[in-house]
Structure 1
Amino acid sequence: MKCILIFAAALFAGTAYGQRSVDDVLREVEAASKELKAQRELTAAQKMEAQTGKYLANPSVEFESLWGGAERIRNSELTVMQAFDFPSAYASRNKIAKLRSSYYDTEGAALRQQLLLDAKTLCIQIVHLNRMKEFLSERVVNAERLDSAYRRKFAIGEANILECNKIGVELISAKTEYNLNEAELLAKCQQLATLTGTESDRFSGLVYPTVESLPAFEQLSALYMEQNPQVQSLQQQVSVDKQSVSLNRSLSLPKFEMGYRHDFGGEGRFKGFKVGMSIPLFENKNKVKAARAQAASSSAQLESVRLNAASELRQLYDQAVTLRESMRSMESVLQAQNNLSMLNKALDAGQITVIEYITEIGVLYQSRQMQLQLERDYNLITAQLFRFEL
């Protein structure tokens, strides 16, 4: 155990010279992600598919040859036709194609943002666990020193069994917490290494991302709502549905056919133009009403998502403010508390008993752990608040 602690101390002493930013890790995650690569391919395919429905229908070519009768007359006919919808339908289809392309880009951006947010959350958790490892290493070293010292004192009759047992319990508790923290740290590192595409990476040099002071809620709210992928996607879907109303209205107007016809036979050759019109009396019945209902549903869904996003942002912002104030209060408390070296000196000088020492050091350790947890929680909350920057 001592060898582990010496190695851990050397490792943490060197992290100041090998610090690794969260942004560097996120770039590795984005470059290695097969999921993002698949999404980019899917987005490209969807955007190509969105362009396919805006062109003219296929032209038709017909050739007819008839012969017979007493005079063996032969007649032939060639017809080339092109059908097209009312002109406003093509304008609506072009707009829908552009809106759908933007919608697919936004879906891809939403997947990317969520993936990077998950990776950033892992990074923050790893930084916290590394800090806990450093703190617990100090705790184990201190407990081992006391345990050795009081065993010697007990052997020469300067300490009683109760004091030795108290310190022994502290040592076991410190080692247990250290091992549990180490196991969780290893699991988180393996999970993040999978995302970055590396086989083994302990991420020991990771540091918390730089968090600027919280802006005013109104300023942050405007940025958060503007860059929220879910809100953006629904806004684009609403635009698509509204444009679909215009498209279905245009499809309710007459369709046309224009073409060329050439007749040649025993009576001579005849050629000219052929024009037709289709009146949509039955085919598109109720489609405009259905499109309007779909647009109304999308608008209501967008409003609901906006309200939920605003409520979520308010909660996150209030939590961030509370955590920031708690961090400041905890720093003041730790400055006022007796530090570890002072408590050790008081114990060695006989100014306090072992029971008093264990009580005081328990309060000190609890406060330091609370400080580390507040730092972690604050960084997790701000990561969600500023997720639009990813």
Structure 2
Amino acid sequence: MKNRLFLIVAMVIFSLGYSQSTIENALTEIAKNNKTIQANTQYWNAQKVQYKTGNSLYNPTVEYDYLKGSPANAGNQTDIVVTQSFDFPTVYGKKNQLSDQLGIQADLQLKMVNQELLLEAKKICIELVYRNKLQVPLTKRKEATEKWLANFRKKLSTGDGTILDVNKAEIQLLEIKKQFQDNISIIAKLNEQLTSLNGGTAINLTDVVYFDIPAIPNFETLEKEIEEQDYIRKTLEQEKLIAQKQIDVSKALALPKMELGYHYQGILGQTYNGIHTGISLPLWESRNTVKLQKAKMTFAESTLTDHTNEHYYEIKQLYGRYESLKGILNDYEKINQSVEPIKLLDKALSAGQISVLEYFVELNYYNTTFNSYLEIEKEYYEVVATLLKYQL
């Protein structure tokens, strides 16, 4: 009996009433309504504006001096100086290149954060589908046990049953009711989490199907696709490029600054006016800045290398788990689906072929095994969702 139950454990899954999955719709709504995504979008857009500031000319300077002469016949002196300071001309081009790269990094940071949030939401959806699927057999188990309990009580009242059978059914029903209520509570909590992620707009996911899985290529091909779309790697590569641009800016800032302007002077009834020029000598202000930026670039290169290695083995482990779970689920799909184990048990109990104790032992064995199947299926979709995160 146990072997037969194990072989047909997956059949109930195909008898559930499926509806079209709305996980994709939920993710679309969350991407549109999530407050964190909205805040991050505003923040990084503001950062991009900030990156563009500070690359214009310095504010012009106007100086005015009025000096009284002494003794009285010495005359008074008036000086007016208008100056405009500016960096060495190559600095502005280097700063523009740096701000462009910082803007690209801002876009990558936004996409990376949003992708992680959507993956979190997708995993909640997967957990919800699992709980919804589990609720179907829990409901059937509860109704069936209530039916048997009523039957045993009736037999006891007519003298055809025993109090032991009633007690076994009551204990069984108590455990099933606990599982039933716990699962309902978890479903409500998960829907609340989705609603929170959706910016407070209610989402109630009642599906009992997951999502369509596209054809997943071999590990080498998939790993290459993931790496090409890995926003963490792209961000680290961008940090390396930014460090190089910062080195270029630091070198350019080490060149002399200049100022150009107009100078007017009036003294003893005579006036003088002409061009004012100046230059700063880069002796101390930019000291060690290039060395600092080179150290940052070395750190960025090291971090990128570490991430690439760690990410490769993370993908490899996930892919191995994916293949393992896929094989287990394929084995279940090959199982004969023509007979319902619970119906077999019900018939055997009604015909007196097995005792009430044997009935509930076999039923619990089947239920436990079927629950394990649902958990394996859920984990399979979680692994697939993680592998395909780069598509979010």
TM-score range, shorter chain: 0.7 to 0.9
| Partner SS, residue 53 of structure 1 | coil
Structure 1 position 128, deviation (Å): 0.8
Moved more, 111-120 or 204-213: 204-213
> Which residue in the other structure is 1:9 paired with?
none
Unaligned 5+ segments in structure 1 are 1-12
Structure 1 position 103, deviation (Å): 1.6
CA contact (8 A) 1:330 1:367 kept: no
Q: Distance in 2 between matches of 1:313 and 1:368?
A: 29
Q: Distance in 2 between matches of 1:311 and 1:56?
A: 49
Q: Kindly report which structure 2 residues correspond to 1:244-263, keeping only aligned pairs within 5 A, or say none.
A: 244-263=246-265
Q: Distance in 2 between matches of 1:201 and 1:237?
A: 38
Q: Distance in 1 between matches of 2:260 and 2:349?
A: 103
Structure 1 position 164, deviation (Å): 3.5
CA contact (8 A) 2:76 2:268 kept: yes
Structure 1 position 361, deviation (Å): 2.0
Does residue 1:165 correspond to 2:167, yes or no? yes
Q: Distance in 2 between matches of 1:296 and 1:73?
A: 64
Structure 1 position 204, deviation (Å): 1.8
| Partner SS, residue 276 of structure 1 | strand
Does residue 1:28 correspond to 2:29, yes or no? yes
Instruction: Please give the per-residue CA displacement for 1:286-340, whole angstroms capped at 9, x wherever unaligned.
Output: 1111111111112111222222222222222211111111212233457498622
The one of 142, 145, 154 equivalent to 1:143 is 145
Structure 1 position 202, deviation (Å): 3.7
Q: Kindly report which structure 2 residues correspond to 1:271-286, keeping only aligned pairs within 5 A, or say none.
A: 271-286=273-288
Does residue 1:63 correspond to 2:64, yes or no? yes
Structure 1 position 133, deviation (Å): 0.6
Q: Distance in 2 between matches of 1:123 and 1:155?
A: 48
Does residue 1:196 correspond to 2:192, yes or no? no
Instruction: Please give the per-residue CA displacement for 1:213-260, whole angstroms capped at 9, x wherever unaligned.
Output: 322222222222222222222222221111111111122222222223
> Which residue in the other structure is 1:105 paired with?
107
Tell me: CA distance 1:354–1:50, structure 2 relative to 1, closer, same or farther (3 Å). Answer: same
Instruction: Please give the per-residue CA displacement for 1:110-137, whole angstroms capped at 9, x wherever unaligned.
Output: 2221222121111111111111111100
Structure 1 position 152, deviation (Å): 2.7
- Which structure carries more relative contact order (alpha carbon 8 Å, separation 6+)? 2
CA contact (8 A) 1:21 1:206 kept: no
Q: Which amino acid aligns with 1:50?
A: Y
Normalising by the residue count of structure 1, what TM-score does the alignment of the two structures yield? Answer: 0.87
Q: Distance in 2 between matches of 1:354 and 1:168?
A: 12
CA contact (8 A) 1:217 1:317 kept: yes
Instruction: Please give the per-residue CA displacement for 1:59-87, whole angstroms capped at 9, x wherever unaligned.
Output: 22223344536755444333322222222
Structure 1 position 151, deviation (Å): 2.7
| Partner SS, residue 84 of structure 2 | strand
Moved more, 295-304 or 346-355: 346-355
Q: Which amino acid aligns with 2:343?
A: S
Q: Kindly report which structure 2 residues correspond to 1:363-374, keeping only aligned pairs within 5 A, or say none.
A: 363-374=365-376
CA contact (8 A) 2:30 2:198 kept: yes
Q: Distance in 1 between matches of 2:75 and 2:355?
A: 128
Normalising by the residue count of structure 2, what TM-score does the alignment of the two structures yield? Answer: 0.87
Q: Which amino acid aligns with 1:284?
A: S
> Which residue in the other structure is 1:227 paired with?
229
Tell me: CA distance 1:336–1:326, structure 2 relative to 1, closer, same or farther (3 Å). Answer: farther
| Partner SS, residue 273 of structure 1 | strand
Q: Distance in 2 between matches of 1:65 and 1:346?
A: 115
Q: Distance in 1 between matches of 2:129 and 2:102?
A: 41
Tell me: CA distance 1:252–1:41, structure 2 relative to 1, closer, same or farther (3 Å). Answer: same
Q: Which amino acid aligns with 1:98?
A: D
| Partner SS, residue 54 of structure 1 | coil
Q: Kindly report which structure 2 residues correspond to 1:86-125, keeping only aligned pairs within 5 A, or say none.
A: 86-125=88-127
The one of 290, 295, 298 equivalent to 1:296 is 298
Does residue 1:352 correspond to 2:354, yes or no? yes
Instruction: Please give the per-residue CA displacement for 1:16-52, whole angstroms capped at 9, x wherever unaligned.
Output: 56x4511211222223222222222211221111111
CA contact (8 A) 1:15 1:204 kept: no
Moved more, 299-308 or 146-155: 146-155
| Partner SS, residue 216 of structure 2 | coil
The one of 200, 217, 220 equivalent to 1:218 is 220
Instruction: Please give the per-residue CA displacement for 1:145-171, whole angstroms capped at 9, x wherever unaligned.
Output: 222223333344444444443333322
Q: Distance in 2 between matches of 1:107 and 1:284?
A: 30
Q: How many residues align?
A: 377
Tell me: CA distance 1:251–1:321, structure 2 relative to 1, closer, same or farther (3 Å). Answer: same
CA contact (8 A) 1:43 1:105 kept: yes
CA contact (8 A) 1:100 1:240 kept: yes
Q: Give aligned-pair identity as a percent.
A: 28
> Which residue in the other structure is 2:6 paired with?
none
CA contact (8 A) 2:40 2:110 kept: yes
Structure 1 position 197, deviation (Å): 4.2
The one of 324, 327, 333 equivalent to 2:326 is 324
Q: Which amino acid aligns with 1:125?
A: E
